Amino acid sequence: MLKNFTPTYKKNNRMGNPMGVAIALAVMTAAFVPGLPRKAEAQMGMYPDNSPVITLENVAGSPEEYYGQTVTVRGDFEESIDENAFKLTRGGFLFFGGSEIVVVNNTGQPIVPPENDDISLQVTGQVRQLRVAELERDFGWDFWDPDVYVEYDQRPVIVAESVALAPEPSQISDNPAQFYGETIAVEGELNEYFTFNAMLLQQDSLIGGGDVLVLLPPEANRVNAGEEIVVTGEVRPFVMADIERDFDITGWTREIQSLFAEEYGNTPVMLAEDVYQIGE
């Protein structure tokens, strides 16, 4: 687990009769949110610091298009270069169409590789060309070892402002304990809204996968069901007493509270910091 990381901020429904429960929740929701559509009105939101969520392949393949921009990418930890930098990859072996980019740590915290190699990372930072003198000047660094970085000279790098675990929804539902207490970034498809501040995130509506209940703060961006999104937030077990203490459940009827406690009790829930649509 990435204890020291600075966080960025399928359809296997547990409910025995998901359609019936969804209808019941929709009816109960309508009682206290007049006029709320089943698919909430979309509010298009940019990613933090206006950084689009794009593919690592795009950055690695056409870095000149992104130099000077802050972007958010997802990939797999390949190997450390030294204590200040590591390689982020996507798509398998480089010789067979995979992509790679160097990430230089500017988070202020040490980078610790994930214990589980199957868990991806999400990195937000500025795309630069690795020119030592310029980076030392702009970021005040003095850690460069010429013998280590000479092979990366002039290559694209991402100067990381934040790095977070980026599991898939099924990885959370299959083994939630490894994420409890962590702030993570999860990519998936918005299945449906149960209430105005509770939704179901799924891995893929076509092939199935674990679902994760997500609770939203009032200021969270709203998107339509079926959209591909990234949710950032903390994962914890769903314990109704704790949720009631730490989360604003204004508008939840006793019936909804009982239903959530019964169907999602002690399963993982995300307390979202925000929700963003994935850019092209």
**Domains detected in the chain:** 18-45+167-277 (2.40.50.140), 48-164 (2.40.50.140)
pLDDT at 119 over 60: yes
> Residue 217: its pLDDT value, please?
86
- Asked if residues 187 and 121 have their Cβ atoms less than 8 Å apart, the reply is no
- Asked if residues 213 and 186 have their Cβ atoms less than 8 Å apart, the reply is no
- Asked if residues 170 and 212 have their Cβ atoms less than 8 Å apart, the reply is no
Which residues lie below 8 Å from residue 52, measured CB to CB, with a gap of 6+? 46, 71, 72, 279
**3-state class (DSSP) for residue 62:** coil
- Asked if residues 169 and 203 have their Cβ atoms less than 8 Å apart, the reply is yes
Q: Which of 1, 22, 2, 3 is nearest to 11 (CA)?
A: 22
Report residue 199 as tokens: 């939704």
Give the span between the Cα atoms of 226 and 158, in whole angstroms.
Answer: 31
- Asked if residues 211 and 10 have their Cβ atoms less than 8 Å apart, the reply is yes
pLDDT at 14 over 50: no
Using one digit for the tens of pLDDT, what is the confidence trace for 150-201? 999 999 999 999 999 999 999 999 999 999 988 899 999 988 888 889 999 9
Lowest mean pLDDT among 14-23, 124-133, 190-199: 14-23
pLDDT at 29 over 50: no
pTM, two decimals, is 0.75
- Asked if residues 218 and 43 have their Cβ atoms less than 8 Å apart, the reply is no
Range list of H helices, 176-253: 240-246
Half-sphere exposure of 248 (CA within 13 A, CB side): 8
Output phi, psi for 57, to 5 deg: -60, -40
pLDDT band at residue 120 under the 50/70/90 scheme:
very high
**Helix 18-32 and helix 254-264, axial crossing angle in degrees, nearest 10:** 150
For residue 76, give the DSSP letter: E
pLDDT band at residue 209 under the 50/70/90 scheme:
low
Give the span between the Cα atoms of 166 and 21, in whole angstroms.
Answer: 30
Q: Which of 264, 120, 134 is nearest to 199 (CA)?
A: 264
